[in-house]
Each structure stands twice: as C-alpha cells, then as structure tokens.
Structure 1
Amino acid sequence: MMLAAVALGASSVAPAQVAPAGAVPSVGEAVTSVANAPLLRSAVLPTADAVTREAALPAPAPVLDTPAPVHASGSLSEMVGQLRSTEAGSRELECLATAVYFESKSEPLAGQLAVGHVIANRAKSGRFAKSYCGVVFQRGQFSFIHGAALPSVPRSGQQWKTAVAIAKIVDNKLMESNVGKALFFHAKHVSPAWHASMVASIGNHLFFR
C-alpha cells in the first residue's frame, strides 16, 4: 500500500522545470507568453507600422544660445523704439545690456551706444576676454559687478528696455558710434592717470583708445 501511495503522489505532481542560469526563452516561448497576456501585447511587441513611424520622426533641433538676427532702420532713436524689449534674448546680450544699463542709463542714446561699442570693441580686441560676459566679469573693470552674478534690473522699466535695444543694435552692427575702436571710458568728473588717447566726448563720458 505504501508503494502505491508513493507512485500515486509522483504521478500527480510534475517535477519543477529549472532553466540554466542566464538562459533566455526562445522566440517561440516569448511570443506564446505574450499572446497569453493580451493587455501587454501592444507594449511588448509594437507593430511594424509603429516602429516605422517612430524611426521617421526627425531628431530634435539643438538649443543654442544665439539670438536670431534683428533688423531695424532709421535714426538711432527710431531703431531703439523698434527694438525695445524686456528680454535680451541670450546670455551674452543680457551681459551687454546690463553693462549699458548700469554704466550709461542716464546718458543720451549716443552715449549709451558708445558704451555698448566699447564692450564690443574689447571682446574683439584680443586684449580682453572674447565675449561680452567675459569682458563684463573681468576682474576690476566694472564697479556694478559684485561676485559671479549679474545684478538684478527692473525689467519693466523704460531704461532697461532701452539698454536691451542698444545691445541689439551693437551686436547686429546696425549703427556705428563715433568712438571708433575705443576701449576705455570714464565719467568727466574723475581724472584717472591714463596714458591713452581721447577719441570722443559724449554726454558725461570721455572715451579713450
């Protein structure tokens, strides 16, 4: 009787199937498994049409910190009126506009344009940093810089919008200034011991080369 019971137990319990370590199910097994789980079929095995459509999608374009060229015409005042904005459009123009704002926001437009051109001249000269931000953050050059961040500016104000317009005019070379290739300027009420040639006097600033 005991032998019969053992035999009966062995025939009613199938032995466990143990796959070797690292074994991967065959393609037929995988398809059979997916077919038995219809809710997961579309996620596991996408259709050929879906794969083709996904492959045809264009790659996303890279995001660049380069503003689109701007256009303006007329006098300096008319150009500023066309290009005033609360947003500079790029980090580099932000640095240039901030320098124009803090160094010359109370100056006539010609004086603000001249300050903007000094920043641009420095970036091209080979004697200073090669970018607007590099020039602005160069140690000991501009008193409005404290630390590694640009100071905050009331962006809704007309003076900031004008500084943004001046920065765009300078960057897009829409109008030259009579300071030429000047690399330095200072207020008329100070007298630094500079051995440089003065090239222009505009508003409250003297410009030197």
Structure 2
Amino acid sequence: MRMKLKRIVSICVILLLLSLQFTNVFAKETITYATLKFGSRGSAVTKLQQALSNKGFSPGPIDGIYGKKTEKAVITFQKANGLTIDGIAGKETQSRLYAQPVSRGAITRNDSYATDLYWLSRIIHAEAGAEPYKGKVAVGNVILNRVKSKDFPNTVKGVIFEYYQGIPQFSPVAEGTIYNTPSEESIQAAKDAFNGARPVGDATYFFNPDKAEGKWIVKNKTYVMRIGDHVFYR
C-alpha cells in the first residue's frame, strides 16, 4: 500500500513539473501587448510611462493617462530607435521599450555621467545641429561606439578632443563650436544615445560628403547608411 502511494505521489509530482514547464513555454510564446494611444488609460499606460521615464524619455506625470506628453515621449523613443513614428505604443514599440537594455561597456550612469552628457550633447549640437533628430542620435551613437573601442580613448571627452598628427578628429574642436550651448533636442539626443539608441549600429566614423572627401574612411571602412547630410561607416 505504501509503495503504491509513493508511486502515485511520484507520478503526480512529475506531471506537475511537466505542466509547469509547458505553461512557461506557452506563456513566453503568447506575450501580447495592448495597443496604447492618446486617450488610453489604466495600469498598462502607467507601466509604459514608467518604462519611458526609466530610459530617459520623459512622459510627464506617471498617472496612467496617455496624454500629449506621453504621446510626445513615445514619438521621441520611436525616432531614436528607428521605429514607425506615429505616437502609438503598439507591439513593435513596446517590444523594443521593454527589451533588456543594451550593454554599453564603459558607459555607465556613475558620477561622470553629467560630464559625459555635457560633452556628448555639445558635439552632437556642433556636428549635427541642423540634422534630423535621428542624425543627432546617430552622432552620439558614433561617439559612444568609439568610447567602447580599443582604437580610441575610453571617455567621451577623450574621444571628442582626440588629435591625430596634430589635427583634431572633430572640426568643432578646431573651430571652437564645441563650446556652444546645445539645444534641448541635442541634449535629448545625447540622453537617448546613452539609453542605448543605436540608429547606426557599430559605426565609428561619419562625415559630410559635401564638405569632405573622406577618402581614407571610404577606402578602409564599411558603409552603413546615410542620415541627412552625414554618411556613416564602421
């Protein structure tokens, strides 16, 4: 009798474990996101607002109400991540927003963050002040890629003020425009780059072909894409 009872218990435990395993697999395969847009309300909107805030895209008050500020934050996030720009938090936008943050190597939010943001926003403004928003984020993307590369200095300021054969790597350093006050959009672009936005992936070079030939870059590096007046290479 005891042996039968033990056998029954063992079978029940095995069945329970199997059912839990299948439940987990099923749950992973059926993750769905309710489409959120202007006028939406509730806990899903609160979660969305919190995630946007955590990644540096301010949605205004975290109150569960999808208002103009939340819509604007979603649009900014979509621009920074190369998504469809419609201000609607659908499956694509939420999947990207809730994804695990990209590892940024030496880029961390420690005591140097304010300094890094100061310089990154200035190089973005100086190099891409007239570029579309995606182009601004792309310049920040390039600078941070250089920080993580063994071929360049390991700080934002170090990358910006690097010289090669006595010539600054970035013309705003030579021209003095690196010290100009950045626009709010340039500051936000810098924040988005720090938060993992990578519109040009692993690119470490860019230039304006209307102002420079970039012969060495074209010959030795791989073309990534063009955004506005800039072409990007890795």
Give the whole-Å Cα distance in 1 for the aligned partners of 2:181 and 2:146: 27
Contact in 2 for aligned 1:112/1:166 (Cα 8 Å): yes
Give the partner amino acid of 1:128.
Answer: F
Alpha-carbon spacing, 1:79–1:114, altered in 2? closer, same or farther (3 Å): closer
Deviations 1:148-174 (A, max 9, x none): x9843246xxxx11111111111122x
Partner of 1:165: 188
Aligned to 2:172: 144
CA deviations 1:77-106 (Å, max 9, x no partner) are 7788xxxxxxxx711111100110000000
2:225 corresponds to which letter in structure 1? A
1:18-167 equivalences under 5 Å are 70-72=55-57, 73-76=73-76, 90-139=114-163, 140-146=168-174, 151-154=178-181, 160-167=183-190
- Gap change, CA 1:146 and 1:204, over 3 Å in 2: closer
Q: Give the drift of 1:125.
A: 1.1
CA contact (8 A) 1:95 1:150 kept: no
Corresponding residue SS for 2:131:
coil
- TM-score, with normalisation over the residues of structure 2? 0.49
Q: What root-mean-square deviation, in Å, do the aligned CA atoms of Structure 1 and Structure 2 show?
A: 2.7
Instruction: State whether structure 2 residue 201 is matched by structure 1 residue 180.
Output: yes
Shift of 1:193: 1.3
Determine what percentage of the aligned residue pairs are the same residue.
29
Which consecutive unaligned segments of at least 5 residues does structure 2 have? 1-53, 58-72, 81-112
Higher percent of residues as helix:
2
TM score, norm. by length of structure 1 = 0.54
In structure 2, the CA distance between the partners of 1:151 and 1:184, relative to structure 1 (3 Å rule), is closer
The 3-state SS of whatever aligns with 2:231 is: strand
- Number of residue-to-residue matches in the alignment: 127
Query: Greater Rg, structure 1 or structure 2?
Result: 1
Q: Note if contact 2:143-2:156 (Cα within 8 Å) is conserved in structure 1.
A: yes
Q: Does the aligned pair in 2 maintain the 1:107–1:204 contact within 8 Å?
A: yes
Contact 2:79 2:133 in 1 (8 A): no
* TM superposition outliers: structure 1 runs of 4+ over 4 Å: 77-80
CA distance in 2, matches of 1:151, 1:186: 16
Higher relative contact order (CA 8 A, sep 6+): 1
Give unpaired runs (5+ residues) of structure 1. 1-68, 81-88
Q: CA deviation at 1:205?
A: 0.5
Tell me how far apart the structure 2 counterparts of residues 201 and 161 of structure 1 sit (CA, whole Å). Answer: 24
